[in-house]
Amino acid sequence: MFPKKISPDAIFQAIKLVKQRSPLVHNITNFVVMQTTANILLAVGASPIMANAIEEMDDIVSMADALVINIGTLYSSLLDSITKAQDIALQYQLPVIFDPVGAGASKFRTETAKNILNRGVSILRGNASEILSLQNNLVNNKGVDSCHETEQALEIAIDLSNQYNCCVVISGHKDIICYKNLTYYLTHGTPLLTRVTGMGCSATALIGAFAAVVKDLSLASIYAMATLGLAAEKAEKLAQGPGSFYPILLDTLYKLELADFVNFHCELA
C-alpha cells in the first residue's frame, strides 16, 4: 500500500541506495543537455551512458538499470533506435522514463511522443504545455518552455496516466505526480531552474536513477523531484544567478544529507 506520508528519511534512504548501487542509466537524449544530464547523474552517484546507435541498443539496454528517452533534438533515424530500446526494455521489465521535450512545438515531436507512449513507458515527465499537447494537439508557441501552469494540465495528466498505464509527472512551479488515481503535489524548487537549460531533462534522468533502485513508480518520481527541488532551493541561496546556480546545484546533489530533507512537503490530493 502507498504511504500516506513520505518522510525525509525515506527519500534519503533512496538516495543512499542510488549511491551504493550506482545504477546504469541509459539515456537516449538530446544534444543540448547530454553533458548536463550526465553531470547531474554523476553527482548523485549514478552511472550514465548516452548511446543513440541502433547497433548497440541490444547490448546497452539489456544491461542498463533504467532507460531514459528524451526527444529534445529529434531526428528521423533516432526513431528506430527508440523503438528498439523500448522493445528490449519492456522485455527486460526495465523502467522506461519518457521526456516529450517540445511536444506541441511541432507535429513531428507531438506524433513521435504519442507513438512512444503507445509502445509503453513507465513514467512520463513533461511541463504543462507538453503534457497538454499529448492529448489535445495544443500548439506551444514557446517551443520547449511551458506557457501553462501545471494545474491546467492535471485532468489530462490523469487521463494519460489511465490511458497509457504510466505514472505522469508534470513539473513546474508546483510539481504534480499522478498514478493509479492518486495525485501528489510538491512545491519545491526555484524559478532559476527555468533559466538553466536541461533542468527538466535532468529531472527526468534523476527519475530514471531512482526508478532503478525503488520499485514503486510514484515514489521514485516523488523522490527524484524532491531531491532536485530541495537541492535547488539550497543552491539558490548561495547562487548569484543561473550561471553559479548550476555548479552549486551539482555540489549540493553530491553532498546531500538527511538534514537537507527536513523541509520536505508533499500533499496527497
Contacts to a second copy by CB under 8 A: 22, 24, 26, 30-36, 38-39, 42-43, 47-53, 55-56, 59-60, 63-64, 72-76, 102, 105-109, 139, 141-145, 194-198, 239-244, 246-255
Cβ-contact 208, 25 below 8 angstroms: yes
Strand partners, 159: none
Distance of CA 69 to the CA centre of its chain: 10
Q: Give 10 or 50: the residue with its C-beta nearer to a second copy.
A: 50
- Minimum distance between the CB of residue 141 and a second copy, rounded to whole angstroms? 5
C-alpha cell at 229: 527541488
List alpha helices for 34-176, DSSP H: 34-43, 57-63, 78-91, 107-119, 128-136, 154-164
Compute the residue count for the chain: 269
Q: Give 216 or 251: the residue with its C-beta nearer to a second copy.
A: 251
Q: Give 7 or 137: the residue with its C-beta nearer to a second copy.
A: 137
- Minimum distance between the CB of residue 26 and a second copy, rounded to whole angstroms? 8
Cβ-contact 209, 41 below 8 angstroms: yes
End-to-end CA distance of the chain: 17
Q: Give 20 or 35: the residue with its C-beta nearer to a second copy.
A: 35
Name the residue with cell 505514472: 167
Q: Give 180 or 195: the residue with its C-beta nearer to a second copy.
A: 195
Q: Give 3 or 143: the residue with its C-beta nearer to a second copy.
A: 143
Name the residue with cell 509527472: 169
- Minimum distance between the CB of residue 91 and a second copy, rounded to whole angstroms? 17
Q: CA of 136: how far to CAs of 58, 160, 170, in Å?
A: 34, 11, 16
- Minimum distance between the CB of residue 5 and a second copy, rounded to whole angstroms? 31
Q: Which is nearest to 134 in space by CA: 166, 159, 151?
A: 159
- Minimum distance between the CB of residue 25 and a second copy, rounded to whole angstroms? 9
- Minimum distance between the CB of residue 169 and a second copy, rounded to whole angstroms? 22
C-alpha cell at 110: 507531438
Q: Give 211 or 217: the residue with its C-beta nearer to a second copy.
A: 211
Cβ-contact 69, 28 below 8 angstroms: yes
- Minimum distance between the CB of residue 164 and a second copy, rounded to whole angstroms? 23
Q: CA of 130: how far to CAs of 34, 103, 137, 150, 236, in Å?
A: 20, 5, 10, 10, 26
